[in-house]
A and B are shown apart, each in its own frame.
Chain A
């Protein structure tokens, strides 16, 4: 066994174990923390594949940003610590996941069960070519070659190449721009006059509420029969 294989097995155990913990624990905060461990393991896989850029991006985006967002939303959930959530659908979801895994294993795993989809009405229309219609019949190619030295530059060029990923890249850029504009609008700086006017309005409202709460002269009570008669109709 090479060093790479040993590291791969350790990483796989860590990722699968922490992922299982995430879906089985009832403590959301610990679940979010174990999710970080799983993300780290995936970053380790990228390192094993000689792709440092994606590994570091994985750490930066998934651990530095997305996990923090998840942890924050868990923390800001009211009554987080007193609550012990129970998942009523755990059993059925587990069965569905196991079935899906079995299908994937049979279709694409070591057994290569060939399934002809040309007879199935909707699926055969989805897959155009004859070979795509046969699930599991595609032999996966293992390139088994070195990652080129210039892979970061290649990746960057592919992102701005019209024939490759320029459109998705621009769409993501547009989305991020829209999000930024929205954030700036929500958090915009208000003038001191506006803030003071708002505070005065709130104070006025509170004073009115307080006045409404003051003991009022008792309202004339309805005779007992009035309510009973309306209920009868």
Chain B
């Protein structure tokens, strides 16, 4: 039982020990080889999951839309990703005549590197993590902002109007949605008291005298906003304005074909999967869970979050660009800011540890009571914000309708005269 629970840890320890014994003459070389193998394993995992996810996503979205999806290549169309891969490899690799060659060719590589770099800090099981940074959450957000550069490179390097338009849209969207994402991650960091992903998971388990409450119960609003901004950050439907085919052909990757296009595709899926992993780590307790081994739990949770992504993609229409920015700047950001301040107040007024209660003079409560207070505050903020937004939207629409009616009346009068 113990062997199954710690399977990943045992394997990684075994490989590290093996390398150390073979390359015993040089600890430097052994360290380098161990790190290299870890990186290759992580990248292979991400690339393979990309292959699998394209198939699953096409099947799931097809079921939602009452279609069959891929069903010709192999049993149940299971070989479809392989066929797509062969197609991508054999396609002609074109370069626009007026492209900035260096920038154009480097962009897909940069986007893939940034997408894969996130996996360095995601914990898959106790002790199985690329590197346990004490600023892990911050690292994930920082690396996410790097893909903006790659998209700008693609848009500019292609020397194509649509590509550049797509790149501009991307930057506005990605920089904009970084703000609510950061604010809500900050809420989780406040509750936990650490930016390390491992500490955040431990805070949701029964270890170290913690109550074992997943953060999604404690902070439902940050979880919701993180999910929305995560979808926007990865440019998935309904926020896929970067590649809106009805408006700007294919956005920043209009000019790319073959393997270079595949790398953009990989970047998108790997990023979305990384967001699912981070979401399950921040809010669903990561690898922690009963009975099943930890690596199964984290995969199950990430798969659940990714399924929500697919579900939204299959159901929602694409939003308009002004609606997208209005949702972010007028709704998510103010709401998250107010929520952050209120969570700070609750944590100080209703502390769970005695030392904090003595230092700041708050009311000592049990973790479950604190959870209930936090959740109540969160939901209160959410419903107040929704009510206010609905009222403002109604007022704006009425003013607009009045204006239209008045102009129509004026036009009619002019036509009669």
Q: Is the CB of B146 within 8 A of A29?
A: no
Q: Is the CB of B145 within 8 A of A63?
A: yes
Segment of B63-71, B130-138, B210-218, B307-315 engaged in the interface with chain A: B130-138
Tell me, rounded to whole Å, the shortest Cβ–Cβ distance linking B116 to chain A: 15
Complex CA gap A167/B164 in Å reads 43
Complex CA gap A226/B134 in Å reads 86
Known: A60-B141, A64-B146. A53 touches B135 (CB 8 A): yes
Q: Does B156 contact A (CB under 8 A)?
A: yes
Interface residues of B in 165-184 (CB under 8 A from A): 171, 175, 178
Interface residue tally for chain B (C-beta within 8 Å): 32
Chain A residue with minimal CB distance to B157? A29
The one of A2, A27, A60, A67 that contacts B28, using a Cβ cutoff of 8 Å = A2
The one of A6, A52, A60, A72 that contacts B145, using a Cβ cutoff of 8 Å = A60
Segment of A89-97, A115-123, A189-197 engaged in the interface with chain B: A189-197
Q: What 1/0 mask marks residues of chain A from 206 to 222 whose CB sits below 8 Å from any chain B CB?
A: 00000000000000000
Tell me, rounded to whole Å, the shortest Cβ–Cβ distance linking A66 to chain B: 11
In the complex, chain A residues whose CB is within 8 Å of the CB of B178: 64
The one of A3, A52, A59, A72 that contacts B146, using a Cβ cutoff of 8 Å = A59
Interface residue tally for chain A (C-beta within 8 Å): 29
Q: What 1/0 mask marks residues of chain B from 99 to 116 whose CB sits below 8 Å from any chain A CB?
A: 010110000000000000
Q: Is the CB of B149 within 8 A of A75?
A: no
Tell me, rounded to whole Å, the shortest Cβ–Cβ distance linking A62 to chain B: 10
Q: Does A56 contact B (CB under 8 A)?
A: yes
Q: Does A19 contact B (CB under 8 A)?
A: no
Q: Does A152 contact B (CB under 8 A)?
A: yes
The one of B139, B149, B400, B403 that contacts A56, using a Cβ cutoff of 8 Å = B139
Q: For chain A, what secondary structure do more than half of its interface residues adopt (helix, strand, loop), or is it mixed?
A: helix
Q: Does B142 contact A (CB under 8 A)?
A: yes
Q: Does B190 contact A (CB under 8 A)?
A: no
Q: What 1/0 mask marks residues of chain A from 1 to 27 whose CB sits below 8 Å from any chain B CB?
A: 011001000000000000000000001
Complex CA gap A200/B302 in Å reads 54
The one of B32, B138, B145, B400 that contacts A3, using a Cβ cutoff of 8 Å = B32
Q: Does B148 contact A (CB under 8 A)?
A: yes
Interface residues of A in 120-167 (CB under 8 A from B): 149, 152
Complex CA gap A60/B195 in Å reads 15
The one of A60, A68, A196 that contacts B149, using a Cβ cutoff of 8 Å = A68
Binding site for B on A (CB under 8 A): 2-3, 6, 27, 29-30, 33, 36, 52-53, 56-57, 59-60, 63-65, 67-68, 71-72, 75, 81, 149, 152, 191-193, 196
5 smallest A-B Cβ distances: which pairs? Answer: A64-B145, A60-B142, A59-B142, A56-B138, A56-B142
14 pairs of residues in contact across A and B, judged by CB atoms under 8 Å:
A27-B100, A33-B149, A53-B138, A56-B135, A56-B138, A59-B142, A59-B143, A63-B142, A64-B142, A67-B149, A71-B156, A75-B152, A192-B396, A192-B399
